[in-house]
Each structure stands twice: as structure tokens, then as C-alpha cells.
Amino acid sequence: MAKKAKKKRTKAIIIVPIIFLLAALAAPWLCRLFVYPKAYEEYVEKYSGDFGVDENFIYAVINTESGFDENARSNVGAVGLMQIMEDAFKWTKRSLDAQHTDIEYDDMLTPEYNIEYGCCMLGYYYKKYGSYELSAAAYHAGTNQVDIWLEDGTIDANDIDSDDIPSDATAHYVRKVMRAYEAYKALY
């Protein structure tokens, strides 16, 4: 009896660390697959490059906005992977000039157009503000609101802290996007 118990303990001593090792090795892969996936890579790569935005930031926004659900619709009317609002669509369509004269707001449920428009907006915000934190804040709250916070000193463009953002919803959104962005950079 004692030999059998000793054999079981010896097996457990060997097997348990192996299981932990395998789990540790699989964790990044599982994280990539389930928590921080990459999808629509050809569009993200193309349009993030066209508009000068780190593709990992685009993945972070898509993950935060829709969880990669191309048919996502919010209760305020935003649609698609990057949750484009109708006025943002109209502004972006004007920014893209004659490239998309035949595109309508309903086309924002098409992943390629949605990613192109989202990347265009984020590229504009990044050029304007020079930071991904402020770009995320503008994507969530609008450039007018971010400009007000910068002008009145509520937030400092040179020392951005999401805790300084007076809107709890926008501060929370910026933290979520930036956490996802850091995770995408670390995993990929």
C-alpha cells in the first residue's frame, strides 16, 4: 500500500509542474485567440498604414468597440466593427473626398469600409493630438470636447492621465483601449 501511495505522489510531483508549464506556455496563445484576437488583418494593415496609425491601436479600438462583431449596433446608433456614428461617417466621407461617393451610412456594416473610416478618423486625431490617449478620448467624446479639456487645462497634452479626464465614461473608455493596446503590442 505504501509503495502505491508513494508512486502516486511521485507522479503528481512530476505531472503537476508539467501541467503548469504547459498552461504557462499556452497562455499567450489562448490570450491571442480569445481575449485579444486579430481579424480583418488585410484591412487593418492597409488602412492603419494609409492613415499613419499603429495597427495594434486599431485592433484595440475594434476589440473595445465591438469585440470584432461586424454587425454590432449600439444603443446610440453607432454601427459596425469600429462603431461609426452617422455624423462621424458624414465628416469622414467629406475627408475622403471623391473616393467614396457611392458609400452610404448602411455600408458601415461592411468591415472594409468601417475599418477604413475608423482608421481615417483615428489618423486625423493622432495627427491633431500626437497621442493615442487623446485620440481615443476624441474617438469617444469628440474633438470639440477634447479641445475644451485641453484649452481649459483640465488635461495636459504633454502629461496625459486618464484620471484627469472629467467624463467618467470617456476616462473608462481610454483606459480600456490603452490596456488593450498594450496587450496587443505585447502579444504580437
The domain spans of the chain are 1-35, 39-187
Looking at every residue in the chain, the average pLDDT score rounds to: 89
**CATH assignment of 39-187?**
1.10.530.10
104-124 pLDDT tens trace: 999 999 999 999 999 999 999
Spell out the residues 6+ positions from residue 182 whose beta carbon is closer than 8 angstroms to its own: none
Q: Residue 36 corresponds to which amino acid?
A: Y
- pTM for the predicted model, two decimal places: 0.84
Which H or E element spans position 146?
helix 143-151
CA distance readout (Å), 95 to 18, 88, 91: 56, 10, 6
40-95 pLDDT tens trace: 999 999 999 999 999 999 999 999 999 999 999 999 999 999 999 999 999 999 98
**What are all long-range contacts of 28-31, with beta carbons under 8 Å and residues at least 24 apart?**
28/187, 31/183, 31/187
CB 180 within 8 A of CB 54: no
